[in-house]
Chain A
């Protein structure tokens, strides 16, 4: 295993760095998770008394903070960037759709500049007993177990209260780096509620921890927000399908640009105007159409 320079989605360190990363980061993540589980009940009551927030909102904020801790633990080995949120004026209410290539994609949602995000997820994450009570308290949508009318009503309530929903429309992690088939749920809800779809392109997590690998590698992770897509532009019985195709095309183009910005067929540095050494938003980094 050797270091590969000038390839942002490749490991930035060699075998030693990877070993150090795994020996430090994995125990720290486990400790952070245990600490979070133990601390939440103690923090919850004073938090509720002080803020008077609903329990589910507190839980979602806590999940976001847990994710920020994860980002901090990863930061010595992973360069995180966040682009496009300021220039595209991304803010709730909205429906976020993200490409999916790693178990850690959900953790990367701590890079979002807002915290009240309700995840729409499949049934299997609810089987992780150590996360399950928290996901239920946060009122995450179990899109495999809930009836569509229940999902639709819950989504309408979330949007009407100014919240954000988050979907991984592929449903599974991609094993070849390409976008897979998109499920329709997020787009149906956008048509039904009128909420804009915000496409998010996440790169680098497939290098950090792709499906089928059990150890981490240093990586450069970039969360790119594209311009929101207004569902009012789509009408008729095929509206959600047309919108789904349009959003998928936008994401595919943006991901291709991020991975092969020079058109060389090889990954390279993002365009100069998009470079950012932190997760601070920067000016419009990539064309979106």
Chain B
């Protein structure tokens, strides 16, 4: 799976789960301020990503550093790469 495919899958998963518009999904979009997600959504987001990519991330410390959609993209890409190596 290429980085572009990973990003596309993340964006599709998030639009379906959180009723977001695809045009709002810019890498610099802040999850809380721009996409209007909140603490309830973060739990669902973890479940969505785990389901989409078949790995566990809920115990990861670095997930707490995520602020933007781009952070999610990078987090998942790095996680996939780490699993491949």
Contact = CB atoms under 8 A, between A and B. Distances in A.
Given A144-B39, A181-B18, A182-B19, 17 more contacts: A122-B40, A143-B40, A144-B40, A148-B43, A171-B38, A171-B40, A181-B19, A183-B40, A183-B41, A183-B44, A184-B17, A184-B44, A185-B40, A237-B51, A238-B16, A241-B16, A241-B17
Interface residues of B, number: 11
Interface string A139-179: 00001100010000000000000000000000100000000
Nearest to B46: A148
Which 4 pairs between the two chains have the least Cβ-Cβ distance?
Answer: A181-B19, A184-B44, A241-B16, A183-B40
Interface of A: 122, 143-144, 148, 171, 181-185, 237-238, 241
B76 to A, nearest CB: 18
Interface in B2-61: 16-19, 38-41, 43-44, 51
Contacts of A241: 16-17
A182 B38 CA distance: 13
Contacts of B41: 183
Nearest to B44: A184
Nearest to B38: A171
Contacts of B40: 122, 143-144, 171, 183, 185
A247 B51 CA distance: 23
20 contacts: A122-B40, A143-B40, A144-B39, A144-B40, A148-B43, A171-B38, A171-B40, A181-B18, A181-B19, A182-B19, A183-B40, A183-B41, A183-B44, A184-B17, A184-B44, A185-B40, A237-B51, A238-B16, A241-B16, A241-B17
A238 B17 CA distance: 9
Nearest to A238: B16
A184 B44 CA distance: 8
Interface string B59-84: 00000000000000000000000000
A282 to B, nearest CB: 33
A238 B52 CA distance: 11
A122 B40 CA distance: 9
A237 B43 CA distance: 16
